[in-house]
Structure 1
Amino acid sequence: MNLLKFFKGLIASLILFGFCSQKSFAQKETKRPNVIFILVDDQGYGDLGVFFQNQRAKEGKPYERTPFLDKLAASGAMLTQQYAPAPVCAPSRASLMLGVSQGHSNVRDNEFDRAIDSNYTMASTMHTLGYTTIAIGKWGLQGAKPWDKNGDEWFARPTNRGFDSFFGYMRHMDGHEHYPKEGLYYNKKQVEVWDNGKNITPELDKCYTADLWTAYAKKWITSHEESKDKSQPFFMYLAYETPHAVLELPTQAYPAGGGLHGGMQWLGTPGNMITTASGTPDSYVNPDYANATYDDDDNPATPKVPWPDTYKRYATANRRLDYAVGDLVQLLKDLKIDDNTIIVYTSDNGPSIESYLPKGYVANHPTFFGSYGPFDGIKRDDWEGGVRMPTIAVWPGHIPAGTVDKTPSISYDWTPTFIDAASGLPAPERLDGVSLLPQLTGKGTQRQSLIYNEYFFPGRTPSFKEFAPNHRGRKMFQMQMLRLGDFVGVRYNIKAASDSFEIYNVVKDPQQTNNLALKPQTPISAAERKTMNVEGIKNIGALQTYMHARVLQVRRPEEWAPRPYDTTLVPSVEAEVKTGVDWKIFRGNYPWLPQVATLKASSQGHSPLPDISLIKNEEDALLYCNGYILVPKDGQYTFYLNADAKAFLRIHDMQMIDADFNYQPGEQKHATVLLKAGLHPFRLYYYKKKEDKTNLNFEWSGPGIDKQTVAPNAFFRQK
Structure 2
Amino acid sequence: MKYLITTLLFTLSLVAEKAPNFIIIYADDLGYADTSVQMMDADPSTKHKFIQTPGLDRLAEIGGRFTAGYSPTPTCTGSRMSIQFGKSSAAVQYRNVNDVLAKYQRPQGWENEVTMAQMLKDANLNYKTAFFGKGASQLGRFEDLGYDITDEIAGEIRGNGNAHGQYWDIKKQTPFPPDNPKRLHSLRKESVNFINEYAGKQPFFVMVSHYAAHIPFGCTREAFERNKKRWIEMGFDTDGMEAVPGDYILKPSGNANIEIAYAAMVYEMDMTVVDIIQALELKGELDNTYIIFTSDNGGGKAVLRKVNGDNRRFNGPLQEGKRSIFEGGIRVPTLISGPGIKPGSQISVPIVQYDFLTTMHDLSGSKTPLPEGVDGGSLRDVFYKGNSGKVERLSPGILHHYPCHYHPPISSIIIGDYKLMRHLNSGEIRLYNIKTDYREKNNLADSMPEKVASMDKLRQDYVDKIGGGSAEDVREAQFKAQDEASEQLKRIYKNKLAVLEKESPTDLEAKKAELLKALNVILKKHELNKEKARRHAELYSWRGYVDKNAAEAYVNANWVDYNWK
Task: Give the TM-score taking structure 2 as reference length.
Answer: 0.67
Distance 2:46 2:458 in 1: 42
Give the Å deviation of 1:329.
0.6
Q: Which amino acid is the alignment partner of residue 38 of structure 1?
A: I
Q: What corresponds to 2:161 in structure 1? A: 172
What residue in structure 2 maps to residue 446 of structure 1? 390
- 8 Å contact 2:178–2:220 — kept in the other structure? no
1:37 to 10, 21, 24: 24
- Give distance in 1, aligned partners of 2:48 and 2:127: 45
> Does residue 547 of structure 1 match 2:455?
yes
Counterpart of 1:46 (choices 33, 38, 61) is 33
**Within 2, Cα distance between the matches of 1:433 and 1:308?**
42
Contact persistence 1:62–1:294 (CA under 8 A): no
2:297 alignment counterpart: 349
Question: What's 2:434 paired with?
Answer: 506
* Structure 1 Cα separation of the partners of residues 318 and 114 of structure 2: 34
Pick the aligned partner of 1:488 from 405, 412, 419: 419
3-state DSSP of counterpart to 1:29 = helix
Q: Helix, strand or coil: the match of 2:17? A: coil
Q: Provide the residue aligned with 1:85 in structure 2.
A: 72
Percent same amino acid among aligned pairs? 25
* Paired letter, 1:64: I
> What are the superposed Cα offsets for residues 360-386 of structure 1, whole Å, 9 maximum, x if unpaired?
xxxx74779x97122101000000010
* 1:402-421 matched pairs, under 5 angstroms: 402-421=344-363
Task: Measure how far apart 1:411 and its partner are.
Answer: 0.6
Q: Which has the higher strand share?
A: 1
Partner of 2:281: 333
Give 1:422 shift. Answer: 0.8
RMSD: 3.6
Amino acid at match of 2:136: G
The one-character-per-residue Cα deviations of 1:604-652 (angstroms, maximum 9, x if unpaired) are xxxxxxxxxxxxxxxxxxxxxxxxxxxxxxxxxxxxxxxxxxxxxxxxx
The one-letter code of the counterpart of 2:83 is L
Task: Select which of 301, 315, 332 maps to 1:389.
Answer: 332
Aligned to 2:410: 479
Determine which of 179, 189, 193 is the counterpart of 1:219: 193
In the superposition, relative to structure 1, how do residues 55 and 137 fare at CA in structure 2: closer, same or farther (>3 Å)? farther
| Contact 1:46/1:53 (<8 A) preserved | no
**Contiguous gaps of at least 5 residues in structure 1:** 1-25, 144-155, 192-200, 254-281, 298-305, 354-363, 460-475, 523-539, 568-719
Using the TM superposition, give the Cα deviation of residue 131 of structure 1 relative to its aligned residue in structure 2, in angstroms.
0.8
Change (3 A) 1:104 1:61: closer
Q: Which residue pairs with 2:143 in the alignment? A: 159
Q: What is the Cα deviation at residue 312 of structure 1? A: 0.5
User: What's the offset of the Cα at 1:168?
Assistant: 4.4
Tell me the CA shift for residue 190 of structure 1: 3.1
Distance 1:401 1:367, change over 3 A: farther
Alpha-carbon separation, structure 2, partners of 1:392 and 1:90: 22
| 8 Å CA contact 1:52, 1:373 repeated in 2 | no
Determine if contact 1:107/1:116 at 8 Å carries over to the other structure.
Answer: no
Aligned partner letter, 2:29 = D
Take 2:215 and 2:40, find their aligned partners in 1: how far apart are those partners? 21
Do residues 94 (structure 1) and 94 (structure 2) align?
no
Deviations 1:185-204 (A, max 9, x none): xx99238xxxxxxxxx9xx6
**Deviations along 1:195-235, whole A, 9 cap, x unmatched?**
xxxxxx9xx6753211110011112221224xxxx532110
Unaligned ranges ≥5, structure 2:
1-12, 104-108, 154-158, 240-253, 307-312, 476-565
**Pair 1:251–1:224, CA change in 2 (3 A):** farther
Amino acid at match of 2:433: N
1:235 aligns with 2:202: no
Letter in 1 for 2:27: V
- Contact between 2:358 and 2:378, CA under 8 Å: does it hold in 1? yes
- Contact 1:346/1:392, CA 8 A, preserved across alignment: yes
- SS state at 2:90 partner: coil
Match in the other structure for 2:97: 110
Mark the CA change 1:52 to 1:366 in structure 2 (over 3 Å): closer, same or farther: farther
- Provide Cα deviations, 1:658-684, integer angstroms capped at 9, x if missing partner: xxxxxxxxxxxxxxxxxxxxxxxxxxx
Helix, strand or coil at the partner of 1:50: coil
Alignment of 1:371-382 (within 5 A): 372-382=315-325
Per the alignment, do residues 168 and 45 of structure 1 end up closer, same or farther by CA in structure 2, a change over 3 Å counting?
farther
Q: Residue 294 of structure 1: CA displacement?
A: 2.7
- The CA distance in 2 between the partners of 1:71 and 1:217, in whole Å, is 18
1:516-665, aligned counterparts within 5 Å?
516-517=444-445, 519=446, 522=447, 540-556=448-464, 562-564=470-472
Q: TM-score, normalised by structure 1?
A: 0.53
Compute the displacement of 1:428 (Å).
3.1
Q: 1:118 & 1:334 partners in 2: Cα distance?
A: 39
Q: Residue in 1 aligned with 2:270?
A: 322
